[in-house]
Amino acid sequence: MAEDKAKNPHVLFFPFPIQGHIPPMLKLAELLSLSGFHITFLNTETIHNRLLKNSPALEQLAQQPRFRFKTLPDGLTSNNTEPILQVVDLVDSIRARCSELYRETLVPQNGEDPDGWPPVTCVVADGMMPVAFDVAEEMMVPVILLRTSSPCSVWAYYSIPELIKRGELPFPEEADMDDPIQGVEGMQSLLRRRDLPGTLRHAKSPNDRVLEFFNTASNNLGRAKALILNAFEPLDSLVLSHIRSVCPIIYTIGPLHLLQRNLNSSTNFPSFWLQDRSCIKWLDSQPNKSVVYISFGSITTMTGYKFHEFFHGLVNSGHGSITTMTGYKFHEFFHGLVNSGHRFLWVIRPDLVQGITTELEIYTTERVCFVPWAPQEEVLAHPAIGCFLTHSGWNSTLESIAAGVPMICWPFFADQQITSRYVGEVWKIGVDMKDTCDRNTIESMARKVMVDEGLRKSVSEMANIARESVKENGSSNMNFQKLVQHIKSLSI
Ligand code: UDX
């Protein structure tokens, strides 16, 4: 009997329901399904329908014999305008509305799985979903956590109580953002206030809702069977040793998109927007390393003012000047860009720029390309790309590292502020322009990064390490095999 069960590991995946968190979790789910496991993937209805609409990935996965999706209602209408508070509202709403359904999915009351599948033997939960942890623990199903953000941010969030104890959080009134921070072990000579995860900036009291949210999520690290990180050992060995002091078993299995390729996965991973592949054709006609690629991920928004500053900075960093610029409307940008002579590829999601009321139109010229959503991994790997102006989302950062593309970082929120510090000061594979948004800075940084051989050399060395780590005897590949064995052992 024990032998039969051991042959049937059944992993339930509970992701955090926002775009940046779903693809890494789906990639891992697919890899475990290729290892012969049964996979149940829980999505909220909103997310599931949106992903189904914009990419074939979910249908492809659902055709696999041991892969199924289940959905939970999220039912949320948040009145908050701050993105992080919307996220906290969403998590609370899921706890209130879905705990029962989740419990039933984990362990059906009548003991019968509706599809005749074996019982769930392990939950892989996003570390930002404490409800996934709590209910599974109550039902005595072992939990392995996955954190989709950078290891340095995981450690900084874990340090919230120490930061509060030292009086470093919340920030004092009129705090100097350049003051050093001492409360994150191992990062004392590195972090300034402005480098802590951006979501901590707004806390007004030690009992702040956002601080409590990250604190609760971090505390689960010490209770989980193991932690999975989309990272590779040599990238962050010091930080990892700190996290191991709390959660001794860590599987670093990244960059996941490279591991996935190495293990022959063929799924195209899903997104909330339809990919516009016209930019690849456009890139094919550009000289090597001549294009600045600009994308701010799936959540970041900009005001019209910031957009304007970025635009001018980029145009001025190039080989021409703008002749027509009368407002924020896109046809004005278009004429300006045509005249600028500068080459860049910019992802303008339909909801990126606040305050622009005209219908966004997508224009492509010889030297400028706007798309609503790009095949980013492919774009970064294209020889025409010279640098990446990014919001320092963790997926984007790993994709840029893997492609050997230096970065200009303009972090927006959450883990991005600390990740960009690591890009600029620890890994030295880019420059960090956080908390500035003026055309002169953008211009000088774009000029620098497009030609800086030192940055290019560091990032291409790091790309090699990343690629080695997913090969057969590489650390991430071997850690993945160990994870498979670990999950099998939980079903005995
Ligand atoms: C956010 C956080 O920033 C991130 O750090 C956190 O861990 C997860 O949630 P997001 O803001 O979307 O995610 O950024 P990022 O993590 O960089 O993910 C964006 C993903 O969208 C990347 O995988 C990127 O390849 C993809 N993308 C982006 C596209 O496929 N096309 C595009 O045009 C733009």
User: Looking at the domain that runs over 2-271+469-490, which CATH code has it been given?
Assistant: 3.40.50.2000
| Residue found by looking up tokens 């249908």 in the block | 59
* C-alpha closest to that of 122 among 94, 153, 144: 144
CA distance 376 to 275: 9
What residues have CB less than 8 Å from 161, skipping those under 6 apart?
215
Cα-to-centroid distance, 475 and ligand 1 (Å)? 24
Q: Is the pLDDT of residue 320 over 70?
A: no
Q: Is the CB of 233 under 6 A from ligand 1?
A: no
pTM (two decimals): 0.91
Residues recorded for the chain: 492
Cα-to-centroid distance, 20 and ligand 1 (Å)? 5
Q: Which is more confident, 79 or 325?
A: 79
* Cα radius of gyration rounded to whole Å, the chain: 23
The pLDDT tens digits for 447-457 are: 899 999 999 99
Query: Average pLDDT for residues 247-266, to the nearest whole number?
Result: 91
Q: Is the CB of 424 under 6 A from ligand 1?
A: no
Q: Which two tokens stand for residue 71?
A: 């959905």
Q: Is the CB of 153 under 6 A from ligand 1?
A: no
Q: Is the CB of 390 under 6 A from ligand 1?
A: no
Q: Is the CB of 297 under 6 A from ligand 1?
A: yes
Q: Is 21 a catalytic residue?
A: yes
Q: Whose CA is nearest to atom 4 of ligand 1?
A: 393
Give SS3 for 157. helix
Q: Which is more confident, 212 or 46?
A: 212
Query: Average pLDDT for residues 313-321, to the nearest whole number?
Result: 49
Q: Which is more confident, 156 or 361?
A: 156
Task: Out of 23-27, 124-128, 176-180, 298-302, pick the least confident.
Answer: 298-302
CA distance 172 to 384: 46
What is the model's pLDDT at position 7?
60
Query: Which residue of 395, 416, 418 sits with most ligand 1 atoms within 8 Å of its CB, as the best mutation to test the pocket?
Result: 395
Average pLDDT, the chain: 86
pLDDT band of 336, cuts 50, 70, 90: very low
Query: Average pLDDT for residues 202-227, to the nearest whole number?
Result: 92
CA distance 213 to 207: 10
CATH 3.40.50.2000 fits 278-467, yes or no: yes
CA distance 368 to 191: 37
pLDDT band of 164, cuts 50, 70, 90: very high
What is the model's pLDDT at position 310?
61
pLDDT band of 88, cuts 50, 70, 90: confident
Cα-to-centroid distance, 18 and ligand 1 (Å)? 10
Query: Average pLDDT for residues 290-314, to the nearest whole number?
Result: 72
Given a contact cutoff of 8 angstroms between Cβ atoms, the answer to whether 299 and 411 are in contact is no
What is the model's pLDDT at position 467?
97
* C-alpha closest to that of 323 among 310, 305, 341: 341
Q: Is the CB of 298 under 6 A from ligand 1?
A: yes
Are domains 2-271+469-490 and 278-467 of this chain identical in fold? yes
Given a contact cutoff of 8 angstroms between Cβ atoms, the answer to whether 343 and 289 are in contact is no
Q: Is 126 a catalytic residue?
A: yes
Q: Whose CA is nearest to atom 27 of ligand 1?
A: 376
Domains of the chain, residue spans: 2-271+469-490, 278-467
How far is CA 118 from its chain centroid? 32
Q: Whose CA is nearest to atom 8 of ligand 1?
A: 20
* C-alpha closest to that of 203 among 354, 78, 91, 88: 88
Q: Which two tokens stand for residue 200?
A: 């901590």
CA distance 294 to 388: 6
